[in-house]
């Protein structure tokens, strides 16, 4: 049989042709967009330096790269108009929630228009019988829970900051409750998304599950505005538990605390939160939140369920803690005490920053398989101590996820360089332990450089191909997650 | 200010150019592939008609479209070689697990090579401390659970059929335990995938969560082999529960049973399984599995937890059931009785088919928000009765998901036409109730025609764009999920 001669290089290319490296659009294009926006949105377009800078960068240590304008739409249709106008003139758009992201997600390295969604903050529907709701992206998690409380429902995810739901979906946020209730990938049922071409895509139906085609919902969750602008979310809810109890449990060592977490998860106790603070963070919280906790590695816990099941969970945890040198736990079921305790946990970032006035917090996170957690945290603590850094460790350890927040004197280039090297080692350590460079903060600009080491070249090429398929002109939050050099 | 004149049609196109309609590759191309495969795989390439037909179609009612050959690889590298060889000659590949899919997923409408993964069925690692494992795609769920049992672990998803894990991931399978443990999208941590260009992509790390870029894992789960061939899976596991109890609870009406399910889910009882059978299906199971259940709408339940929590759950369910005219329940905690009961549930498909010897079962599924479940099931039952069909209803009702299995005389064109219209009405009904055309069976060939009605044109265009970005020559299981006409 004669084989047809087909050259080896006839293999399909994975990605379509890559666009040229992105650059700032010409001034005339930006002018055209600003003038079009002004005509359409009047004083809902802001170009003052202060507002533009605020929209580029709030809690990140990366340099501020302000957009050319900020616009405040009121509807999906208005977002479509903004995206279409910008697309016509090849000007980037950057969606903006509350600006609490940590890796430069809302920076505008190529200028463009920041779409601030805060005025799209309505609850469009609550389906109590289906345990779901439909909201606009600008509503924050506290606003949503305020709205839901009377119906005995709550939205569980809690990243600490009072972030917007749109931003939480865009960064695949998780937070303190994720060990029980999952991350945003688990609680988003459907999204409405304005695509790069201005069309509106609905990613899924309101049914609890579906096998009807590619999972566009999960593709958008975590895409950080690079594939489209989220303008509506359908979210899973939960009934407020009959009983909630909280505890603070001190340990003698980091390893003891981490090992207790591992054993708790392995034993199947459905713990709702299990949070770790090292002694540096506990000291920071004592100072900032006026607490009097023992300054030692500590777990903060919460159990949800019926009265009986909460009591049973607490009892089983206490046995485990004791086996790893932990306890005695202080328990509370009183709502005001629980609130005070978790407020302190949520203020951990600010408490940390207050430890070294004038310094900037380089908040970062990694996540490893839980069997490697103790090892990873202990090695990280050693690295911090060897460098002489002030860097508290705090984490959602039930998922193997922890945060480190070196406090850096931004006037000291040697210190900045040392911290940058520390951050690289932290990521290398997590990757070596089969972990990820970010468990919940996202990629933004800060972690782009780690993606190839984490995922390998074929996965990164697939991400690039998907980005270009949905945003061929690279105008949706360009310069984040995947780069085109 | 003078606006630059940019034409309206400068809007970015969402999708890259669409390839011409797919067609069978020329005979010489197929010959070249067969000869290349024979040289590489020897007698692991099979071209007999019986084997090819068996690989095209087992449990579906759609016409059999056999591949040109079936090959049995032993490693990721061998799958790469097959994909590369086929790509070079523009010949399709169709991954094959156990052939238990229901919508023509493994048909080969344009010919090509069926990659049967049954010989890649090893457990590569069990990380008991992380509650995960790494397996090859050909292992079946029963084989995996057999392997895990000694370590006190189990993999919870259970679609009834003893499907392969690769196939379960490819179809975003769920089954009876999904109400508690989620679907394949929730239990897959990472996948190794051979892409259209022959490269191997790893979708994620082994950490429990990550925000590091696009969710490639969830993109591949449910993609039915159209984006690549899964050659390795990292899966979440669970500890075998301390206590398990099962119950059968008869109801006076379909509506009573469905309303009891809704109330159970809303009340937050963490039921592990809650399955519905209508009286026709109960009769079928009595006949097929030699049971003596009351022939009335019935719920099958299972509770997992500690002894105390299982007892508490059962008690709370009994109260709810009574309020909706259900009960008394028959309970069992004896493993052999539980097994017998769930075996009957799993044999529902075969029991159904046995109801009308010689007939073909048109098994289909839809899923609706749970608040619409009773209405949807009752309307469907009425439609069945009006048509005079034999069509049992059985379902994973805790998710709002149910199956209908009309038994059709394939020699009666009028009956086939009536059933096809019934299936269309069923999907229309589900979509009208904010549901999906398939909760767990997937799209395959059978449900492609519903995707635009379900998702809308922009979402379908996005799916097409993604397909072309990752498989520009449309060689990965072509003619499934998205079509290019």
What CATH number does residue A205 fall under?
3.30.465.10
Instruction: Answer yes or no: is B443 within a domain.
Output: no
Q: Same domain for B145 and B103?
A: no
- B211 vs A173: CB contact, 8 Å cut-off? yes
Residues A374 and A323 in one domain: no
**Helix, strand or coil for residue B275?**
strand
Which chain B residues are within 8 Å of A309, Cβ to Cβ? 308-309, 312
Q: Do B268 and A15 touch (CB under 8 A)?
A: no
Indicate yes or no: CB of B312 within 8 angstroms of CB of A312: no
The model's pLDDT over A426-463, given as tens digits with 9 standing for 90+, comes to 999 999 999 999 999 999 999 999 999 999 999 999 99
Instruction: Indicate whether A17 pLDDT > 60.
Output: no
B327 plus B365 within the same structural domain: no
Span B87-100, average pLDDT:
96
Mean pLDDT of A163-187: 96
pLDDT for A364 equals 94
CATH code, domain carrying B331: 3.30.70.2190
Structural domain includes residue A37: no
Domain boundary among A325, A350, A375: A350
Asked if A202's CB is within 8 angstroms of B456's CB, the reply is yes
pLDDT at residue number A58: 66
User: How high is the pLDDT of residue A338?
Assistant: 86
Mean pLDDT to the nearest integer, A46-54: 97
Contacts of B138 (CB under 8 A, 6+ apart): B97, B117, B118, B119, B120, B121, B164, B166
- For A391, the domain range is 352-432
Domain count, chain A: 3
Of all residues in chain A, the percent with pLDDT exceeding 90 is: 80
Mutation pick from B208, B269, B446 vs chain A, by most beta carbons of A within 10 Å, is B208
To the nearest 10°, report the CA torsion of B416, B420, B423, B425.
-130
Pairing of strands B93-96, B113-116: parallel
On the question of pLDDT at B7 being above 50, the answer is: no
User: Which chain A residue's Cα is nearest to B267?
Assistant: A239
Say if residue B128 is in the same domain as residue B180: yes
Q: Do A463 and B216 touch (CB under 8 A)?
A: yes
Task: Give yes or no: residues A150 and A227 share one domain.
Answer: yes
Contacting residues of B for A219, CB less than 8 Å apart: 214-215, 218-219, 466
Do B136 and B148 belong to one domain? yes
* In the predicted structure, residue B11 carries a pLDDT above the cut 60: no
Higher pLDDT, B22 or B150: B150
Here the tokens at position A178 are 């994720």
Selecting from A11, A265, A367 the residue whose C-beta is nearest the C-beta of B198 gives: A11
Q: What angle do CA A3, A7, A11 make, to 5 degrees?
A: 110
3-state secondary structure of B45: strand
Nearest to A463 among B213, B268, B475 (CB): B213
Contact B12 A127 (CB under 8 A): no
The pLDDT tens digits of the residues spanning A254-303 come to 999 999 998 998 888 999 999 999 999 999 999 998 988 999 999 999 99
What's B90's domain CATH number?
3.30.43.10
From B101's Cα to the closest Cα of chain A, the distance in A is 12
Q: Is residue A146 part of a domain?
A: yes
Q: Identify the pLDDT of residue B20.
A: 56
The minimum CA-CA distance between A290 and chain B, rounded to whole Å, is: 33
Residues B65 and B144 in one domain: no
Q: Which residues of B touch A204 (CB under 8 A)?
A: 436, 455
Give the mean model confidence (pLDDT) for residues B71-96.
97
Please state the separation of Cα B193 from the chain's center in Å: 19
What is the nearest CA distance from B290 to chain A, expressed in angstroms?
33
Count CA atoms within 13 Å of residue B461 on its CB side: 17
B438 domain-assigned: no
Which chain A positions have a beta carbon within 8 Å of B229's beta carbon?
Answer: none
* From B209, B436, B459, residue closest to A401, measured CB to CB: B209
Q: How far apart are alpha carbons A114 and B153 in whole angstroms?
A: 49
Model confidence, pTM: 0.95
Cα A364 versus chain centre, distance: 11
Q: For residue B277, is pLDDT > 90? A: yes
Q: Looking at the domain assignment, is residue A364 inside a domain?
A: yes
Please state the rounded mean pLDDT for residues B417-440: 96
Domain-located, residue B8: no
Whether B109 and B141 map to the same domain: the answer is: no
What percent of chain A shows pLDDT beyond 70? 95
Q: pLDDT tens across B337-353, in order?
A: 888 888 888 888 889 88
Q: Tell me the pLDDT tens digit for each residue of A190-227.
A: 999 999 999 999 999 999 999 999 999 999 999 999 99
Q: B379-388 long-range contacts, Cβ below 8 Å, gap at least 24?
A: B379/B429, B380/B404, B380/B426, B380/B429, B381/B254, B381/B278, B383/B422, B383/B425, B383/B426, B384/B422, B387/B418, B387/B419, B387/B422
- Helix or strand or coil: residue B361? strand
Q: Is B95 among the domain residues?
A: yes
| Token pair of A366 as six digits | 């990694």
Nearest Cβ partner for A129 among B89, B371, B481? B371
Q: How far is A299 from chain B (nearest CA, A)?
A: 20
Taking CA atoms, A148 is separated from A125, A321, A335, A478, in Å, by 11, 35, 17, 36
> Is the pLDDT at B57 greater than 80, yes or no?
no
Q: Which residues from A are below 8 Å from B185, CB to CB?
A: 215, 218
CA angle A202, A447, B235 (to 5 degrees): 65
Residue B131 to residue A265, Cβ atoms within 8 A: yes
Task: Show the tokens assigned to A461.
Answer: 């090429």
The CB-side HSE value for B67 (13 A sphere, CA atoms) comes to 34
Domain boundary among A350, A384, A416: A350
Residue A367 sits in the same domain as residue A331: no
**Are residue B106 and residue B142 in the same domain, yes or no?**
no
The per-residue pLDDT for range B198-227, each reduced to its tens digit, is 999 999 999 999 999 999 999 999 999 999
- Please tell me the distance from the alpha carbon of residue B265 to that of residue B350, in angstroms, as a whole number: 29
Q: Which residues of B touch A469 (CB under 8 A)?
A: 15-16, 465-466, 468-469
Share above pLDDT 70 across residues of chain B, in percent, rounded to a whole number: 95
| Domain presence at residue A98 | no
ipTM: 0.95
Write the residue in A35, A265, A436 that is nearest to B207 by C-beta: A436
pLDDT value for B352: 86
Classify the C-alpha dihedral A12-B223-B214-A371 as positive or negative.
Answer: negative
In Å, how far is A7's CA from the nearest CA of chain B?
8
pLDDT given at position B195: 97
Specify whether B142 is located in the same domain as B219. yes
Residue A347 confidence class, pLDDT cut points 50, 70, 90: confident
Q: In this complex, do B215 and A222 lie within 8 Å of one another by their Cβ atoms?
A: yes
Whether B265 shows a pLDDT value over 50: the answer reads yes
Q: Is B12 in Cβ contact with A196 (below 8 Å)?
A: yes
**Is residue B235 domain-shared with residue B268, that is, in the same domain?**
no
Contacts of A206 in chain B (CB under 8 A): 369, 434-435
**Which chain B residues contact residue A460 at CB under 8 A?**
213
In the predicted model, is pLDDT for residue A9 greater than 80? Answer: no
Residue located via tokens 């860097």: A391
Which string of b and e fits B361-389 if b means at least 16 CB within 10 Å? Answer: bbbbbbbbbbbbbbebbebbbebbeebeb
Q: Do A455 and B15 touch (CB under 8 A)?
A: no
Chain B hits for A374, CB-CB cut-off 8 Å, are none
Of B49, B84, B118, which residue constitutes the final position of a domain?
A: B118
Read off the pLDDT of residues B171-188 as tens digits, 9 standing for 90 and up. 999 989 999 999 999 999
């Amino acid at each position: 049989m004669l084989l047809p001669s087909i050259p080896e290089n006839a293999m399909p290319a994975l990605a379509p042709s890559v666009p040229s490296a992105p650059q700032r659009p010409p001034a005339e294009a930006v002018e055209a967009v600003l003038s079009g926006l002004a005509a359409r949105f009047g004083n809902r377009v802001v170009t003052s330096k202060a507002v533009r800078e605020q929209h580029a960068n709030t809690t990140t240590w990366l340099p501020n790269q302000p957009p050319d304008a900020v616009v405040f739409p009121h509807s999906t249709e208005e977002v479509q108009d903004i995206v279409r106008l910008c697309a016509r003139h090849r000007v980037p758009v950057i969606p903006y929630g509350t600006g609490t992201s940590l890796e430069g997600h809302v920076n505008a390295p190529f200028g463009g228009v920041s779409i601030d969604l805060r005025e799209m903050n309505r609850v469009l529907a609550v389906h109590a019988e289906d345990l779901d709701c439909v909201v606009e992206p600008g509503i924050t998690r506290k606003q949503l829970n305020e709205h839901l409380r009377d119906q005995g429902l709550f939205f569980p995810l809690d990243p600490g900051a009072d972030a917007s739901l749109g931003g939480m979906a865009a960064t695949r946020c998780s937070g303190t409750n994720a060990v029980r209730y999952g991350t945003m990938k688990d609680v988003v049922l459907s999204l409405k998304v304005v695509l790069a071409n201005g069309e509106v895509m609905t990613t899924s139906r309101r049914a609890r599950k579906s096998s009807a085609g590619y999972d566009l919902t999960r593709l958008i969750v975590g895409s950080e505005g690079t594939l489209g602008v989220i303008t509506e979310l359908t979210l899973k809810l939960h009934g407020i538990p009959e009983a909630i109890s909280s505890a603070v449990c001190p340990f003698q060592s980091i390893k003891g605390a981490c090992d207790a977490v591992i054993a708790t998860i392995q034993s199947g106790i459905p713990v709702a939160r299990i949070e770790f603070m090292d002694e540096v963070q506990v000291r920071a919280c004592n100072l900032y939140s006026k607490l009097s906790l023992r300054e030692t590695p500590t777990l903060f816990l919460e159990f949800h369920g019926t009265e009986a099941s909460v009591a049973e969970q607490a009892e089983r945890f206490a046995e485990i803690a004791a086996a790893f040198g932990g306890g005695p736990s202080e328990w509370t079921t009183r709502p005001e005490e629980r609130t005070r305790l978790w407020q302190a946990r949520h203020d951990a970032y600010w408490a940390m920053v207050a430890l070294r006035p004038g310094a900037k917090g380089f908040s970062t996170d990694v996540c490893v398989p839980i069997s490697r957690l103790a090892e990873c945290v202990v090695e990280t603590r050693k690295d911090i101590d060897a460098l002489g850094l002030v860097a508290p460790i705090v984490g959602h350890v039930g998922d193997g996820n922890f945060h480190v927040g070196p406090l850096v004197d931004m006037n000291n280039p040697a210190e900045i360089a040392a911290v940058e090297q520390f951050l690289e080692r932290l990521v290398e350590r997590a990757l070596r332990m089969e972990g990820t460079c970010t468990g919940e903060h996202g990629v933004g600009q800060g972690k782009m450089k780690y993606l190839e080491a984490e995922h390998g070249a074929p996965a990164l090429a697939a991400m690039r191909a998907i980005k270009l398929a949905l945003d061929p002109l690279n105008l949706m939050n360009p310069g984040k997650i995947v780069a085109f050099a």
